[in-house]
Structure 1
């Protein structure tokens, strides 16, 4: 463990819990460290934006950056509760395994799940991870981000083959994400696990940011083209309603094949 990093994180938490301005001697006494070490730790936090120093009293307090990050974490945590009714309706309508997933660097993390009651169900677990480029929910979020090939390479690193169907070439992945945006949903055709296919559509918040994705895992024996299109209609409607719940406002119900919206964060970078 990195003791310097651990000390800095402990200092941030301690200051936050004091709910008052703190001096160098306060931190030194709380952690049994030399005053010079406490001063160095606090100055590092100030320089990195995690703390501010009062110019009149020289006391320290946590910066609003902690509030900003805490609000983001809280928003992500609340999403699951807000969207669970939509996932339940989708699970009931399709009989397939339904997920809510978020993007974490090169992977997706499952926040919620409804298991399929059908005899052959696709296996996954809440808290589990999967390579974003191999599963439909991950592809949906990557497509919404509209990353070019260099940006995909930087984010994902090496594309490892998890099955014989996995995409391992960045140009091929870029083309797949373009198709995803064009048809309005992502597909996984046994790219993460053999015998398991899937669909995914991003969920947007009030700021137009793709913050999660609704995913559906389907055994390959139930994923013929006709079935996939029918399931895609269901999951697109679910993602639309989920986005409305989070305050997203866009055009009325998209027609089949209408493009996925690009995350507004990406659009602002392009403008």
Structure 2
């Protein structure tokens, strides 16, 4: 090693002294790389399919850095590139699988699945289970309708609380402080109108969404509440041709009862 030599001449010939980087500096560099990777991964999830230039602007990193991160995430199986030129990036199902395992860690999916099976059989529509992730919900379990024409959402997909029946049901069960913070952050939503919807949701025990997530799709959702507050939301979704206003009360009651059953089981029957 150059720095081990005992001569000044040898040291000067060394391009980089061998101990120029400390362990602390290496740790900082590694942490920075990990943070960059997660920032890029979350940006892809929010805007997929998304191009390199848009990603770089979103995460405020150099395009060269973002490109290296994308290639690494692709090699690890977290994202994939489209065949278009230039390539656009999107999550793979590996991300959804991890999200699903996160929901299962607390037993939520195991507890909810038998109740969801009964609800799906009774309604013949697609049943969703979504868990909170910050100020969004993430789909962690889906039971598909047997009908050829049905609602579809990919596992792992995130959606805003104000723009879905599941989200509104969850938000309605949250405390005022959380609701205030959420409505203050979502600037394109009228807080007065949203509070009116939340009040109606609390009164009847379920939320209704029409054409919010997808055109021609209606959903009905109810909160799943643990001992410390809402932990998830249950919803039934399908074409508006089958889930019309005349079925809202019927389906709302079924979803509300199913959500309450899951809530009771989570709390050991105490609710």
1:204 aligns with 2:204: no
Measured after TM superposition, the shift of residue 191 of structure 1 is: 1.6
Which residue of 216, 219, 223 maps to 2:239? 219
Q: Which has the higher contact order (CA 8 A, sep 6+)?
A: 1
Give me the TM-score of the superposition, normalised by structure 2. Answer: 0.59
Structure 1: state its 5+ residue gaps.
1-31, 42-72, 160-167, 252-271
Secondary structure, counterpart of 2:132 in structure 1: strand
1:79 aligns with 2:108: yes
For residues 1-271 of structure 1, the aligned pairs below 5 Å read 34=22, 77-147=106-176, 150-154=180-184, 156-159=185-188, 168-205=189-226, 207-247=227-267
Measured after TM superposition, the shift of residue 250 of structure 1 is: 6.1
Tell me if the contact between 2:103 and 2:109 (Cα under 8 Å) persists in the aligned partners. Answer: no
RMSD over aligned CA atoms reads 2.6
Structure 2 CA distance for aligned equivalents of residues 40 and 129 of structure 1:
31
Secondary structure, counterpart of 2:241 in structure 1: helix
Tell me if the contact between 1:86 and 1:241 (Cα under 8 Å) persists in the aligned partners. Answer: yes
In structure 2, relative to structure 1, the CA distance for the partners of 1:89 and 1:173 (3 Å cut) is same
Larger Rg: 2
| Per-residue CA distance 1:149-205 (angstroms, 9 max, x = gap) | 642334x4233xxxxxxxx31211111111111111111011221100101111112
Structure 2 CA distance for aligned equivalents of residues 119 and 35 of structure 1:
59
In structure 2, relative to structure 1, the CA distance for the partners of 1:114 and 1:34 (3 Å cut) is same
Structure 2: state its 5+ residue gaps.
1-19, 30-101
Give me the TM-score of the superposition, normalised by structure 1. Answer: 0.59
Measured after TM superposition, the shift of residue 228 of structure 1 is: 1.3
Choose between structure 1 and 2: higher helix proportion: 2
